[in-house]
Structure 1
């Protein structure tokens, strides 16, 4: 009866009567050789790693969270990110103490979504993890366009010089984003952090397009 009044469906595949099904959960499992190194069109100068393609349950979960307010999808995405961070630490790519710096987002988009979903995922993924902190110190300057639909060159022009850092970051940093497409935002985020004297060890994304 409750499902008829307030129907729920899986955020990954749309299956009824569940918010996150076992099949979609299996798609987000981080395997021993993951995350994988990817090569975006714009090289930020540090390793860029992603948990998988921007497709299937991974894509639907990100879209559901960002565009449809499905905050119930933060936990499964955060769980995958937590596992990926653990792998990077075990590999020695990331050495604690480390600060996870969420990629910058437009303030208008964050307000529309009830907060920055990338920061929410990062905070949940690192909760209680010793030596790992989250500092959302990067923001987009006003009048930055939404990157959806822009070409690679347009994305680069759209973000160059528009990322600013509000506060210093102590020690090593990892830039974290939900999706890496051309790498323009990641590259500018890395550049800004490095200009302030921060050592950036990697960029980590949930998905790559």
Structure 2
């Protein structure tokens, strides 16, 4: 039975810690907002925009993201999207008060969306845009990107392998930006925010940024819920 349906039938338990009472308990929800800040990968791939995350990809945050993404617990969307919107708001407070925010979800592979039964990043970006509007920050979902070709599953790939796998993978949906712009509004009047759930090596976000730049759209920032920690091995780095 799908996890989303079980959440409706059974007494809910927190996806982060297992405590009864809610799919996201107050403590784990607070953890998702641990500290919105720049958390770029090290080293960052070429072309990666300024990269912010709300927390580290560990503990309850990791369990909640995986429960939503891989196990279909869509009831977690409000809590996870609040993390995205808080991170966007923290970044925008540094000087983006005048521009409308366009939240551009990194596109999921079609096969992955079919297997999961939903598009987790688009759901997060949609809910985060609504939350920002409730906070008085003009924001819209801007689905500008799509997959231009099939890619392999990224799990287990290193940074170099991810770069090869994703090279040229994304493209801009023709006419998508023009349809979102009100009459007379210039593209420079908006701040384009790339949204993903987790940043690991930064390769996915860098490829998304490349696709936008190819049509003259410059992303202002990339925002995720969480960032993986980097751990040193002998003679090399790897992402956890």
TM-score w.r.t. length of structure 2: 0.78
- 2:221 is matched with 202
Which 10-residue stretch deviates more, 34-43 or 62-71? 34-43
- 1:80 is matched with 83
Note if 1:27 corresponds to 2:31: yes
Q: How many residues align?
A: 205
8 Å contact kept, 2:15–2:24: yes
**CA positional deviation for 1:66:** 0.8
| Unaligned 5+ runs, structure 2 | 1-6, 182-186, 229-240
**CA positional deviation for 1:107:** 0.7
Match for residue 15 of structure 1 among 15, 19, 40: 19
8 Å contact kept, 2:68–2:74: yes
- Partners of 1:197 and 1:163 lie apart in 2 by 15
- 1:52 is matched with 55
Distance 1:37 1:190, change over 3 A: same
Note if 1:126 corresponds to 2:129: yes
- 1:63 is matched with 66
**CA positional deviation for 1:46:** 2.0
**CA positional deviation for 1:55:** 0.6
- 1:186 is matched with 205
Which 10-residue stretch deviates more, 64-73 or 81-90? 81-90
Which 10-residue stretch deviates more, 67-76 or 41-50? 41-50
Note if 1:177 corresponds to 2:196: yes
8 Å contact kept, 1:96–1:132: no
**CA positional deviation for 1:98:** 2.5
| Unaligned 5+ runs, structure 1 | none
Q: RMSD between aligned alpha carbons?
A: 2.2
Q: Which runs of 4+ in 1 moved over 3 A?
A: none
Q: Aligned to 1:88, what secondary structure does the other structure show?
A: helix
8 Å contact kept, 1:94–1:202: no
- 1:136 is matched with 143
The superposition leaves residues 107-161 of structure 1 with CA deviations (integer Å, 9 ceiling, x where unpaired) of 1111222221111111111116153111122122343111011111110000001
8 Å contact kept, 1:102–1:175: yes
- Partners of 1:191 and 1:185 lie apart in 2 by 10
Q: Aligned to 1:50, what secondary structure does the other structure show?
A: strand
